[in-house]
Each structure stands twice: as C-alpha cells, then as structure tokens.
Amino acid sequence: MPIRQPLRFVTAAACILAPLPQASAFDLSGLTSQIGGAVQSLQPQTAPPPQTQNGAALAALSQGEVGRGLKAALSRGVDSAVSILGRPDGFNGNPRWRIPLPPGLEKAASAMRMVGMGAQADALTVAINRAAEAAVPQGKALLVSAVRNMSIQDAKGILTGGDQAATDYFRRTTHDALAAAFLPVVHRATVHVGLAQAYDRYAGEAAQFGLVNRDEADIDHYVTEQALNRLYQAIGEQEKAIRADPVGAGSALIAKVFGALRP
C-alpha cells in the first residue's frame, strides 16, 4: 500500500548489515626543432627555445634508457599505490580514497540514521572499504607484469603522454585481469559479513525504482570497480610526483629520463 512503501524502503535498507566497505607512435626526432637555412657568422648567438632543448635531451636518450627508466618509475608507482591502499584503513581511513555507498544507498543510509540506525549504515560503508583493502594486494603481480611486458612504443607514449598516460595504459592492459582477481576476494569479504545477499536483494529492488543504477546493483562488482578506479588513480599520482621531481626519486636513471622532459 502507498503508506507502507517508505517504511518498507527503510526496513529493506536496514537489512544491509555490513562491513565492506577510482600514444601515438612517438618519434624522438620529431621533438627536435628542424632548423633550416644558414646562420650568419656575425649573428648574435641565442639560446635555443626550451622545446628545442627538451627535444635534444630526449633525442640523446637511447631506447634502452627510455624503457628502463619508465619501467623503474612505474614499478615504484605500483609499489607505493598498493602499499597505500592495500592495508587496513587504506581506503576506509582516508577520505580521499574511501569508497562511498552508491547514491541510492546513501539515501537509504540517511533514512536509517533518522530512525536511530546510523551504526548499521556506517558499518555498511566500513564493510565495503574493507573488501577493497583486502583485494588490492592481489593485483600487484598483474600490475608488475604489465610493466615488465611494456613495449618500447608503450614506454615512449607514456613518457610523453602526460599525467594520465600511465593510468590509461594500466587500465587498458590490466583492467579485466585485475577485476577477475579482485572479485573473489571482494565476494569472500561480503559473504563473510553477510552483506552480499542483503545488498543485492535491496539494490535489485531499488534499481527497479531508479534509486540505484543497474551497474551498482551488485555489491561485488560495485566494490571491484571502485577499488580499481582508485588504484589506477593512485598509481598515476605517484608517477605525477616523479615527473614533478625526478631527482627526488633517488634514481639516476629515472632522473635522467624524466629530467629530459623538463624545460
């Protein structure tokens, strides 16, 4: 009956008990300015523009140096991102990385808090994030393998492709395999806390009323995608830090390769 529908919505939300809780082909010579014509002997010498210096520095790097330097930097990024996220409170304890409830369930959580069930609503968020924290370490070997198997074309594209280039590369080459590795870990965590069935039952009903998107109606897939998005973002931020301060990476090779990108 119409009067019962809101009560039924809050009651269904309360059933979620829960703890579980983001190249184009590169031609080195193309970066070097092509200077044509003869230079008059008496013409004052001027320093080449920054891009010419930049191109000359890149052109001086061997393919081996580009590949080794980029792989070293990305390996560090993977190590750092996994250690940041794949530990207790890596997601849940950091507002920047915490996985929120799907918008539809946030509405339900608000309703639960209004009737004195805030603890249960908070437990659901914790449970979602705990599942992500447990899953992330399972992906390290796959990410390292993607770095190891990177082609020289991939390395050059990432090196000159900007801050999102590495994230795009990892997403393209590891997403499906990582999702397959994450799902069983996430599922075990959701089942352990009795979350999966309650969430899926509620979210499936909520999806019929447009309260939850269809791609959010399965808790395991939702947590997996949210964890992957944040893992890729964290790797990208580690790479961005190296680009900003290559010397600070503490590696002569990384400093040489990424330093060649600086004006």
- Residue 104 falls inside a structural domain: yes
Q: Compute the distance between CA of residue 133 and CA of residue 181 in angstroms, rounded to an integer.
A: 13
pLDDT digits (tens, 9 = 90+) for 128-149: 899 999 999 999 999 999 999 9
The CA-CA-CA angle for residues 168, 173, 176, to 5°, reads 110
- Residue 80 falls inside a structural domain: no
75 vs 30 pLDDT, higher one: 75
Region 85-110: what's the mean pLDDT?
86
- Residue 159 falls inside a structural domain: yes
pLDDT at 174 exceeding the cut of 90: yes
Q: Spell out the residues 6+ positions from residue 220 whose beta carbon is closer than 8 angstroms to its own.
A: 183, 186, 187, 190, 196
What end-to-end distance do the CA atoms of the chain give, in Å? 69
- Residue 253 falls inside a structural domain: yes
- Residue 82 falls inside a structural domain: no
Full-prediction pTM beyond 0.75? no
Please tell me the total count of domains within the chain. 1
Q: Compute the distance between CA of residue 84 and CA of residue 122 in angstroms, rounded to an integer.
A: 22
- Residue 77 falls inside a structural domain: no
Q: Compute the distance between CA of residue 81 and CA of residue 86 in angstroms, rounded to an integer.
A: 8
Backbone angles phi, psi at 70, to 5 degrees: -65, -45
pLDDT of residue 214: 60
Q: Spell out the residues 6+ positions from residue 214 whose beta carbon is closer than 8 angstroms to its own.
A: 207
- Residue 52 falls inside a structural domain: no
Q: Structural domain of residue 163, as residue ranges?
A: 4-22+88-259
- Residue 222 falls inside a structural domain: yes
